[in-house]
Each structure stands twice: as C-alpha cells, then as structure tokens.
Chains A and B, each alone.
Chain A
C-alpha cells in the first residue's frame, strides 16, 4: 500500500471514530460511545508509551503508574471540593511528569533487563502506596463526586466528553509527529540506534532520554485524568502491573515506533477483550496464548500489515 492509500485509510479511520457517537445515537446503543471513549483514552496512554518505547528504545514496564497518578490528581482535589478541570488536568500532567523525572533519573542509569525490572518495581511501589493510604480509599478506591468542570463545556454530556477525548488524541498525534521530526526527536531516535556514537559527537543522551521519559509520563498522566472522568471512580488498580502490560501489548500489537500503531493496537486489544469476555468469563485463558502467538509470528504489528511491510525501525 503506498503512502497516499495509507493516508486515505487513516483519514477514513478517524472519520469513523468521529462518527461513532452518531452511530451510537441512531442505533440507540450508548454502550458503544462508552467503549470507544475508553479505547481512545487507552490509545492516548499507548501513544505516550510508544514515544519512549518505540522511538526511544526505553522498555518501560511501569507506564500504568502515570495513568494512576493522573487519576489521583483528578479524584483527590475533587474529594476536597476542587473540581476545576483546568487545575485537575494541569496537576495530573505536572504530578506524573515530576514522578517520571525521579523514576527516569534512577532507571535510566541502567539499560536492558534492569531497566524493565526497575520501571516495573517503581510502578508497583506506587501501587502499594496507593493501597496503603486509607484516607484516599486504600484498595477499595473511591467514587469521583463530580466530573472535571470546564465552565460551559459539560463532561457529564457523554457526546461532549467523547469529542474532548477525540480532540486530545488528535492533538497528541499531531504534536507527537512534530516532536519526533524536530531536532529533539531526532536525537532521541538516534540515541536508540547508536547511543555511543551520539555521545561521541557530543550529545548528552541521558538528558534527552530523560526529557522524553518525562514527556511520556506527563501525557499518560493526562490519559489517567481522562480515565478517572470516564469511570467516575478512583482505584489503585489503575497502577497495577497488568495494566502496564496491557498498554505495552497495545503498542506492540499495533506496531511500535509508529504513531498510529498504538491507536490501532488499543482498538484491537480492547475490542478483542470485549468480544472474548462476552463469550466466556475465562477469556484470559484464550487471550494469553494468543499474545504468545502474536509475539512469535506477528512481526511489525497491525500498522505493519496496513503499511504492507515491516515498519519497525
């Protein structure tokens, strides 16, 4: 498939996403609105992970931590009566960015397997922290009293909320495209393919990688803020390591090192979960081996199939 055909396919895909509310309204199936909003929120998280995983070569297995931090940044102010969306969402990005700075500063001293294990361990540490704070719901979690308030824009209207999430996703993809092709993104990608050479020509690759790590964390924090509004519930299980695994699967399934791949991956994984769970409560017994097969035989992900070749690289 050449690049024009691919562009047309992608445009059709986004048009499809934009029309989901119309279809849901006509078919009187509000469930689909909810499902696709959830899918897009996870797509935002997956794209943010791909910024460091696919483009930066940093295999972070603790990305759900930022999802949880974003959710806490919405639910805790709301608990104390502060429900301004501007405050909450800014806090979500600042808090997850700051935590990513600390985790990144320690983890990026290592690489390879240690990096995978350390990011996982830090995320799990935050999970245990979440379940031990009884004032904020401990492991039962707590209900969100009100969705984030944005003046005239009312997130309790499911359609308005849907288009806000879609808007965030499109904006992220556009900004991500700019970032990857800017000088900063070029340095990060170059550091993935040959770090020693980048250091030899005078780049402090550590700083660039850390900055990318912080950006990815902050964006995922925003996804967490959206997720708290979506479920109207806060639970430490947003930070559970299986959630990090899910986000990572979305990236790989869709095609890492591409911007649209993670979106496809989120759509595919969550639709598959939805289908399988309608069929049996033990759907994970099917999903697990399916994942193994995808890893063993499916290279390049769904976006690779769409692009008609191996797009990893």
Chain B
C-alpha cells in the first residue's frame, strides 16, 4: 500500500469523523445542559437527510435544499422539545430512553409512510461533482473535501459561540448550575428550547451532507447514532472538546480499519481466513477501542465537570 493511499483513507476518516462530530456536538450539549439522553437525535439527522433530498428534487438547488432542511430540522427539534421532551428533564434516564425510543419508532415509520421504505438516492451537487488536486498524484472528491471544511468550520464556530458570546455564557452557566441561572432571572425554558433546536439543526446539517454519499433510508439515524454514542463515551459525556477528539479518533479508526485490516491480516493468517476475519474485526474495532478507553478512563478522555 502506498503512502498516498493511506493519506486518502486518512482524509476519508477525517470526513467521517466530522460527520460524527456534527451529531455528537448536539447530543453532548443537550445532555450536558438539560441532562437529557436523547435517542431520537438520530431521527433528526434522518429528517434532515430526507427533507434535503426532497427539496433538492423540487428546486434543483442544493443550497436552497440545505437552507430549507436546516430551518425545518430546527423547527422539528423545537416542536419535539416543547411537545414531548420538556417534561422529561426531571425524570430519570430510563424514562428518557423509553420516550425517545417511542419517538424513533414514530419518525422512522412516518418517513416510511411519506417516502416509502426503499432507499432514496440523490446526487452530489454539480458544482462539487469533481475532484480537487491536493498533492501531485492525490486528487480527492470535492464534495468530501467540502464536508471536512464545513465540519471544521462548525467546530470553530461552536467554540466561538460557547466561549465568546452571551448565549454561550448562558449555556456554560446552565450546564454547571441550572438552579442558580434560573434564580438570576434567565428564561431557562426558552434557553433549553433554543439549545435543543440548535443541536437538532446540527444533526440536520449532518443528514443533509450525508444524503449524497450514504443511502437515505428509514433507520439511517440509528446506525450513526450508536457510533456517536461510542464517540461521546470515549470523549467524555457533556464535553464538546471530548466530542471533537472522540469523533476524529473514531472516524479514523473505523475507516482505516475497514480499509487496511484485511490486507494486513492476510499477510499474517493467509488471504482466505482474512476474508472472513478482516471485515468482522473491522466492524468491531471502535467498540474494542471504547472498551479499552473505558478500562483506563471510566469517565472518558475529557470528563466534563458537573456540579
């Protein structure tokens, strides 16, 4: 295997990592502030992917589709928060898991009613259909390169918002002592709804970008959600920095494992055994990583400080 191939797979790993980060950021923020385990976060990702695919079909403009899907997932997230989740903040995690499990069943089936159970396919927008030349001999799909840039930009923006703005100050204050923030006269319910909508829009953005490169089908949200759980557990629940580090690590390990484990194993145990063991081991790699991290750091790499 050549160095360029490894570099290309590293970029793929980074691209998958930033997708995971878009999901993990919202999930960890909602948990850190509202103490809510939201299994339905993956459903918002799915809703984003479906709405963007549909809107891209109607308008022919990816940019319009993106805007539409972002606004719509923001709205869906806020409605779900107000209607169902708001009453769950004070409940134990078990109740939250069950109620959001119910929401997943609802969303998956609702999507299947509107668009059917078969996978939808959509194309990369024409402007980004080509390749960019990064190094002599290494050209990389422009669309995937844009995903990496958008993901990193969102991470930067999130850092600025959380650490440099008034909203971010409220978010940090709410995470460390919500009773005190409410006592100081902040409308905490509104803050919660805004944060939830914000997280939903991030998941929606992930879904919009996933549409053209992965398949859009009911249940797509849970596939990524469980990997996002791995990210959050590795990074430390409630920590945005942990989510970023965890996402990139998981994205890299998963992608590189799938690409190189089989050829590497075949030099050790022979090609026919590697044909079976390679993919099996590659699909288990991130969970083994998670177990290893937990063994040494039970609270993750960057444990969030909570009062």
Contacts and interface: CB of A to CB of B under 8 A. Distances in A.
Nearest to A133: B280
A109 interface: yes
Contacts of A53: 94
B280 A129 contact: yes
A249 B279 CA distance: 33
Contact of A289 (B102, B290, B291, B298): B102
A288 interface: yes
Interface residues on B, range: 35 or more
Given A132-B280, A289-B102, A120 B294 contact: no
Interface residues of A, number: 42
A158 to B, nearest CB: 31
A284 B226 contact: no
A212 interface: no
Contacts of A284: 105-106, 108-109
B106 A117 contact: no
Contacts of A175: none
Contacts of B105: 284-285, 287-288, 291
A262 to B, nearest CB: 14
B97 A248 contact: yes
Interface in A238-265: 241-242, 245, 248-249, 252
B69 interface: no
A290 interface: yes
Interface in B270-307: 276, 279-280, 283-284, 287, 290-291, 294-295, 298-300
A110 B295 CA distance: 10
Contacts of A109: 294-295, 298
B111 to A, nearest CB: 10
Contact of A120 (B103, B226, B279): B226
A294 B94 CA distance: 13
Nearest to B292: A106
B84 A134 contact: no
B94 A245 contact: no
9 contacts: A59-B94, A120-B226, A125-B284, A242-B222, A287-B105, A288-B102, A288-B105, A288-B106, A291-B99
Question: Across chains A and B, which 7 residue pairs bring their CB atoms closest together, nearest first?
Answer: A291-B102, A288-B106, A288-B105, A125-B287, A285-B109, A284-B109, A128-B283
Interface of A: 53, 59, 61, 106, 109-110, 112-114, 116-118, 120-122, 124-125, 128-129, 132-135, 241-242, 245, 248-249, 252, 282-285, 287-292, 294-296
